[in-house]
Chain A
Amino acid sequence: MATVSLKNIGKVYEGNVRAVDNANIEIEDREFVVFVGPSGCGKSTTLRMIAGLEDITEGDLYIDDKRVNDIPPKDRDIAMVFQNYALYPHMTVYDNMAFGLKIRKFDKEDIKKRVDQAAKILDIEELLDRKPKALSGGQRQRVAVGRAIVRQPKVFLFDEPLSNLDAKLRVQMRAEISSLHNRLQATMVYVTHDQVEAMTMADKIVVLKDGLIQQIGSPLELYNDPANRFVAGFIGSPPMNFMTVDVTEEKGKVYIDEGDFKLEIPKEQGDILKDYVGKQVVFGMRPEDLDYHEEEMKDQTIKCNVGVIEPLGAEIHVYVNTAKHQAIARVGPNVKLQVGDTIYLLPHFEKAVFFDLETELAIGREQRRQ
């Protein structure tokens, strides 16, 4: 298998449209890396540059320490699974899977062995004589993966491969691709706009926005220690709550004041905010880090009204309104609430993240890590 290294990679399209800017990513051997971000963030363009399907405008791309900027896709030893599967409609499943090997003039026996083996892994042995139009979405997806497997490439590339599947099948295929990764021990690069896919599948996530890498890290690193407000809001479902608050100091204690409520910040987090006293910051809390309380606790709870209640069985998502903001809290399944109720939420400040109002960067990341 292989390592992939992107050094200062940039992509500029006609009309000076910059799709990717100065991307630096190190993908280790056998690592499962997910590029995630909203539409137009440059994730697919980056993947296509790795595949050789897009020219690289700036920077260097290495596969196994070999610079491949000018090497065509067929010579990069990569395989790719496309969003719409891109199966050849005029070929049977067998021929689709065997095509890349035939073009590379593999021995017939070897081709058959590899296709049969891949078909067995993916449980599509019964489908080998069918044409793609006679397959369901999930089956097509398996064939597309099978086509990649038979080549035994150095790197597997997946471009939003599950986005055309229904929700249930997507969850199933997600698990299958993960188990395939474990089985093949291959280097895989996977593009998705679905942060749940990214969180559940990745060894390492690369979050992109507007062509710029926002953060690279393990799923939990990104969840617990986001570099900026975008990452904090993008990773996690329901998303992190954000409230713009004033930072004040009274008698050596640091407070955040929303106008409708005021919270005393524990010393550890207070120290991080010392430089922001007298300024505004964005206060970020995950929905699960807001505890439900019936009674107010002075300077410790957020007073709010229940707007929407979403019972999910194992938990309830409560959409609440303060005077200036909306927020979501995750509460236990047995909490009895009604729309319009006034409730109090107690934040777990050790999990809170504060963001600079202008730069939107997380405040005091270094201190928190120590």
Chain B
Amino acid sequence: MAKATGGDYLRRLMQRGSLHAVLILLCIIWIYPIVWMVSASFKTNAQMWNNSAGLIPDPLQLDNYVRAWTTSNFSIYFLNTVIFAVSVVALIVFLGSTSGYVLGRFKFPGKRLIMVLFIGTTVVPRATTIIPLFQLADMLGLLNNRIGYTLAYTSKTLIIAILLFIGFYIGVPREMEDSGAIDGCNFWQQFRHIMLPLAKPIIGTVTILNTIGAWKAFMIPLVFTFSRPNLRTLGVGMYAFVGEFSSDWAAMAAAASISIVPMMVVFLLFQRYFIEGLAGAVKG
């Protein structure tokens, strides 16, 4: 093999250096708004506008957090969002994994039609279905309650989850199920003890995507809670800081900073499955 020359080494160093520079620049572009928001949450409204570029608050003050938590029903919105996100994720993981398992592993009449309909719905813009969805929820008595907007939001993202689970289960070797059958499992035990734990990467991915989605959901929680504002979630509730004549931007920054903490926790808990899940990897 040819020996690397000094020139080669320098060229590789330059290539790697420029790549890192681009990546660092991208990181800064991505992270700056978040850092700015957190910084703003420790400033007064006046400081925020007078020294908007400065990232170090002087003096550092925590009033915004107290105001954000106690006024504008933020604590209620926060709790609503937790209930909403947990319910959505639980429903999507349960329905997505069971449907994905059956659609990915079994042949039955009408399967192709179901798949075509599923994939077809993913290309329909959500805004075009919000009115019929609203009317349907109204007819079923699901407006202005938690179940209504939870189901409505779940219907929006469930298909993608099902498709992710189908993709995963198609790739699981048949011997896994055969082995379970020989070990004495019935259908449900095979799913519960073998196939579901195998899908951890997809569960992780679906959990992260849907927690983030539910946390920032706006349209459905807004439309479904017109008469019950106390059921609203953070995405909608955040607008409480925006007034007709004046807005409390610093408190809003504090509220936003609080609201990203749970998402970061979820991401840290499930991130090791996230890339694996999106890449479609598995196998044991």
Contacts and interface: CB of A to CB of B under 8 A. Distances in A.
B190 to A, nearest CB: 10
Nearest to A131: B284
A74 B181 contact: yes
Give the interface size bracket for B toward A. 10 to 19
A44 B44 CA distance: 75
Contact of A51 (B176, B182, B198, B284): B182
Interface in B134-170: none
B284 A73 contact: no
B105 to A, nearest CB: 14
A80 interface: yes
A89 B198 contact: yes
A86 interface: yes
A317 B138 CA distance: 85
Given A90-B197, A90-B198, A80 B189 contact: no
Interface residues of A, number: 25
A12 B23 CA distance: 58
Contacts of B284: 87-90, 132-133
A132 B282 CA distance: 13
Interface stretch (A22-30, A99-107, A194-202, A256-264): A99-107
A72 B181 contact: yes
Contact of A104 (B173, B176, B179, B184): B184
Interface in A234-289: none
Nearest to B181: A73
A82 interface: yes
A338 B184 CA distance: 61
Given A89-B283, A90-B198, A133-B284, A99 B193 contact: yes
A51 B179 CA distance: 10
Given A74-B183, A74-B185, A132-B284, 7 more contacts: A51-B178, A53-B182, A74-B186, A86-B176, A86-B179, A88-B284, A90-B197
6 contacts: A73-B181, A74-B185, A78-B182, A86-B175, A88-B194, A90-B200
Interface of A: 48, 51-53, 72-74, 78-80, 82-84, 86-90, 99-100, 103-104, 132-133, 147
Interface of B: 173, 175-176, 178-179, 181-186, 189, 193-194, 197-198, 200, 283-284
